[in-house]
Every structure is written in C-alpha cells, then in structure tokens.
Structure 1
Amino acid sequence: MGRPRSTDPDLRHGRHCVFMMHVHLVFVTKYRRGVFTGEVIDELRVIFANVCRDFEAELVEFDGEHDHVHLLVNYPPKVAVSALVNSLKGVSSRMIRQKNYPGIRRKLWGGALWSPSYFAGSCGGAPIDVIRRYIEQQQTPH
C-alpha cells in the first residue's frame, strides 16, 4: 500500500520521487537595452507560465525591470535547467517579437530579444549548513 503522501503543499510528487526543486533565473535583454514596459512584463509572465506548464514546472514568482527579468521556477528532477531556459528564452523572444511592440522593434533590430547569457541559482529547501549537520548526525553502521 505504501506510505501516505505528505501534506506539505510545497512538496511535489512524481511517479517514483518526492521533490521540491527551485531555480532562480535572470534573463537580460540583448545589449542590456531597456525595452520592457509594464505591458510587456505582463505578457512575459503569461508566456513563461505556459512554457513552465509544458515542462511540468511552475512559475512561482516573476517580475522584471526595463532590461531584465527574474523568475522563480519549481521544476521536476527530470527537467534539465538548460533545456527549460532555452525554451523560456526562445518562445518568449518569438512571441514578443510577433506582438510587434514598437519600443522593442526600434531598440533591438536584430533577431534576438535576450542576451545569450543567463543566471541560474538553485534555491529552496533547507540551508546547506542544516543539511550538512543532518548528514553528519546519521548513525553510520559498524
């Protein structure tokens, strides 16, 4: 019958694992050009949430400024962060360009919305020192 599922709403369940994995992503516009308005940021929020859903991930938090955006994504262990990033950046670039926002077309005349670089930081769960102490306290068999 197995053990009952945890009632912790932050834990996600796969077929053979329980997980809580978050990544903080930062994408910067090409040439660090300030092209985002509130309307574009709102559009990006919807696009990113849909891409995350396709990866069985969740866009937990999102916001941005004129030249960059921050995403907090809860993702399953089967997803490679690099594949998620490539899809997030590729789909959003294509869809934002299709909307034909005049400020973006004027300031970014090439084919790219995003700089090829990005920041990805792991986060969530217990701090490393708490995990380290927990592991150290395990009773090694003799």
Structure 2
Amino acid sequence: MKYSLNKGRSCVYKISLHLVFVTKYRKCAITPEMLEVMEECMGSICEGMECQLEEFNGEADHVHLLVDLSPKVAPSVLVNSLKSVSSRKMRQQFGKHLSQFYWGKPQFWSKAYCAVSTGGAPMRVVKRYIQNQDTPLAPPNHRFGRGMRG
C-alpha cells in the first residue's frame, strides 16, 4: 500500500488514527442530517489542529473517523476537542430532536472512545523489518546484539 508522507519542520510522518465515538447510553439519536453537520464540524476542528479528517461515517449510535494526525497534537487532546465541540453543535442545532433521548445535563457523547493506530503495513511486517536491520560494526570491546540496549 502506497501512501504519501507528511513533512514537518524537523520530521517526516504519517500518523493515521481510527476513532470511534459512541452516543451517551448508546441511544440511536444520530440522523443523516446530523452526520453531515458532524462531518463538517469535525473536519474543521481537525484542520484547526493541523490534522486532516480522511474519512467519516456513522450509524444511529456511533461514528467512525479516520484522522491524519499531526505529531504536534496528542490524540487525547484531539478527541476532547472533537467530542466537546461537536456535542455543543449537535445540541444547538438539533436540541429538539435530542431532547427525546436526553434530559437533564446535556451530554451527547459517551465519555469512552476507541482509538486505534493504523498504518500502511501489518505489525508483523514492521517487526520483521526492524529485526532485520544490519547491526552496526563496533570496536571489539563493545557488544551489540538483538535485545540489548546501549
């Protein structure tokens, strides 16, 4: 699988993160119209944090995001921004609809979330690549080898 690397001032990177957010109490509250607004909102948040929303979709009780993450941004900070801003936007624009599912303190998303790192190669391939690196030549009084830290 070919993919392009991003370039920063002092690094080259490709950090893809698959996020899943579930509605509070797993209520089937999300409508197709809400998904459209949510995608636009979350895309804007990602851009503001120097990330990019690559894919977005969802069902009535959860959404999936594939984010090209900047190394400057901690995943937990991104998730907090995505969930808090989108929750506020959903309550503002779809408050009447959401009132049939939620009452009391307005909260849209569950506190929990799923975050899975993704990559271009399976983990076994990456491990094998690292294991097969050439060991540097060292003076006779130094020992290098697999599993040793120096």
TM-score over 0.5 (shorter chain): yes
2:132 aligns with one of 112, 120, 137: 137
Q: What residue number does 1:4 align with?
A: none
* C-alpha distance in structure 2 between counterparts of 1:58 and 1:80, whole Å: 14
8 Å CA contact retained: 1:26, 1:71: yes
**Candidates 15, 19, 30, aligned match of 1:21:** 15
Q: Could you say which residue in structure 1 is the equivalent of 2:113?
A: 118
Task: Judge conservation of contact 2:3–2:120 (CA < 8 Å) in 1.
Answer: no
User: In 2, distance between residues paired with 1:81 and 1:122?
Assistant: 10
Give the structure 2 partner of residue 128 of structure 1.
123
| SS in structure 1 at match of 2:70 | coil
Q: 2:32 aligns with which of 38, 60, 63?
A: 38
- Taking only aligned residues, the RMSD between alpha carbons, in angstroms, comes to 1.3
Q: Secondary structure at the match of 2:64?
A: strand
TM-score scaled by structure 1? 0.90
Consecutive unaligned residues in structure 2, runs of 5 or more: 138-150
Q: Percent identity?
A: 47
Q: Which runs of 4+ in 1 moved over 4 A?
A: none
1:3 alignment counterpart: none
Check if 1:83 corresponds to 2:91: no
SS in structure 2 of the partner of residue 93 of structure 1: helix
- Larger displacement relative to structure 2 (106-115 or 8-17): 8-17
* Pair 1:108-2:102 in alignment: yes
The letter for the 2-side match of 1:84 is L
Matched pairs, number: 135
